[in-house]
Amino acid sequence: MNNPKSVAEIDLKPIPGKKYWNCDREWREEFIYFLMVDRFHDDKNRTPVKTPNRSMGRGNQAQLKQFCGGTIKGIQNNLDYIQSLGCTALWLSPIFENNGEQDKYHGYSIQNYLDIDPRFGTKQDLIELVKTAHDREMRVFLDVVVNHSGDNWYYPDKNPYYYSNDQQFPFSRWRKEDRPIPTELRNPNYYHRRGEIKNWDSYPETQRGDFFSLKGFNNEEDEDGLKLQDVLIKAHCYWMREADIDGFRLDAVKHMGELAVSRFCSEIREYAYRLGKRWFFLFGELVGGDDAINRYTGANTPTEVNNKTVYFGLNSVLDFPLYWSLPGAIKGMNSPGNLIDRYEALRGRALSRGELGRYLVTFVDNHDQIGQDYKRRFAADTPDEQAIAGIGYLLCAIGTPCIYYGTEQGFSGKGNGDEFIREAMFSLEDPNENLLNQNCKIYQEIGKIAEIFRTREPLRFGRMYFREISGNGRDFGLPQNQPCTLAFSRIMAGEEILVAYNTSTTERKQDFVMVDSNIQKSGGSMKFIYGKEGSATVQKHPNSSNPSLFVQLDLEPMQFVILQ
């Protein structure tokens, strides 16, 4: 059967006889691998580079501004590489059919929500990828765009229009006679038609304006807006039915109306339950500080809209406040106080400091780097040890850890443009070479830490506390300056795991780190389970009236260790 052209043609009854896949892992137990489909791997049978050293991503600037040739089949053929890194879930960049230009490789310019972009493959390719991933106990999440469509129509005279006092501009023509799809989207009233956003933090401009040339949907609470939302919801339920998808990452959440977010999440989740999928994951791209995050996530974060109480329905959001503070602390560039303050800001909304992790997807690198003119990968100008520590931190701290493709190979792209941080993981010159190198030191060390994350419950569910440190074993305090030993504990049900990292490029001898005095005993020991051999003796404070306990750590430059 050909793919449907209209939501009226969609059958959303469960496929007869099909058992939809379900997994009892919580999403905070996942280690997500985020890849850009066009950049990960093509259909060719290639041989990976084999070296303990990192590699530079492939492609020059001109090549990386265009389609590189990655496919869904290329992902399926190389799932072993992702799973061997320790990842348990895939997050794919948008795969639906985009406007046909060569520079629309990223997937965010959708013209057909009911079919796969033929440059990536077919619907059957997606079905087979998801089936293969499920056979390996891996989840698959799609990046979905319900705030705006591609550049599927134009304003009068094909001129760019810009937001001005919430004025609605005339619709001119569709760019193609048979797009967008579903055909229901061929209604000019389903678009805000306010022109391009100029002020990205001004309401209502930020919700009603266009994303550059991409056309903003009318996600309002009027008759047309509600019909539009119903179309988009059914189009995305279709992919859950057909391909057994396990979750959606919602693009540009803060640019949608609050009720539209709530309605989309609620109806998608209900449909997942109908299929028997109990842990369908809905996480949002929400570029903002903790005030914004607090509004959108958690059972106790409703907001009032037109005298109605709205629960957004997102399970989690990308943790941008951590992304803004962690890399500088890992690299010894910014005060660790900023990182510690980021967690302190969360105190008021957590039932416990472990449960909060279910509301955050944590990362140190991404494909956009919104707000930065000069783009730079996390591993750019960064020693291997710092790259390892950055991902190690994510795996050991609260939240659902997410790694951006290529970080495990030390990709170091940088420059004035998104293309510099979207390198290809396969050669664009040599049809026999890829960079899926499992011998790379960064890849191997991340895999070791991921194994510890997967087998130690406190690292997935425990409370998190930053630890006071001392240089003399007497005077303790949280680190405020660089360089330092940055340390925290994950504690759960009487069990403590200590994580410590030397931010300095020189060794740190005789740093003393506090541990939990209700769990540890003076004279006992904590064993190194990553980063070092042996164990550290638990010592008591020299002041007999002080009940504090600590361990002494001697750390090599940029050494990352885990003790239990």
Q: What is the pLDDT along the chain (564 residues), one digit of tens a residue?
A: 578 999 999 999 999 999 999 999 999 999 999 999 999 999 999 999 999 999 999 999 999 999 999 999 999 999 999 999 999 999 999 999 999 888 889 999 999 999 999 999 999 999 999 999 999 999 999 999 999 999 999 999 999 999 999 999 999 999 999 999 999 999 999 999 999 999 988 999 999 999 999 999 999 999 999 999 999 999 999 999 999 999 999 999 889 988 899 899 999 999 999 999 999 999 999 887 766 676 677 654 555 666 666 566 888 999 999 999 999 999 999 999 999 988 887 766 654 566 788 889 999 999 999 878 899 999 999 999 999 999 999 999 999 999 999 999 999 999 999 999 999 999 999 999 999 999 999 999 999 999 999 999 999 999 999 999 999 999 999 999 999 999 999 999 999 999 999 999 999 988 999 999 999 999 999 999 999 999 999 999 999 999 999 999 999 999 999 999
pTM of the shown model: 0.96
The answer to whether 93 and 68 have CB atoms below 8 angstroms apart is no
Per-residue burial over 223-237, b = 16 or more CB atoms within 10 Å of its CB, e = otherwise = eebbebbebbbbbbb
Q: What is the pLDDT of residue 291?
A: 67
The answer to whether 153 and 172 have CB atoms below 8 angstroms apart is yes
**Distance between CA atoms of 90 and 262, rounded to whole angstroms?**
24
Q: What distance lies between CA 442 and its chain's CA centroid?
A: 20
Q: What is the pLDDT of residue 353?
A: 61
Q: What is the pLDDT of residue 311?
A: 61
Q: Which residue has the tokens 């190198």?
A: 437
**Distance between CA atoms of 482 and 501, rounded to whole angstroms?**
12
Q: What is the pLDDT of residue 300?
A: 45
Beta bridge partners of 549: 515, 540
What values do phi and psi take at 527, rounded to 5?
-90, 140
Q: What is the pLDDT of residue 310?
A: 57
Q: Which residue has the tokens 């105190």?
A: 347
What values do phi and psi take at 492, rounded to 5?
-150, 120
Tell me which amino acid residue 370 is. Answer: I
CA atoms within 13 A on the CB side of 436: 24
Domains, the chain, ranges and CATH? 31-99+131-147+246-455 (3.20.20.80), 462-563 (2.60.40.1180)
CB within 8 A of 462, min separation 6: which ones? 354, 490, 491, 492, 495, 497
Q: What is the pLDDT of residue 351?
A: 45
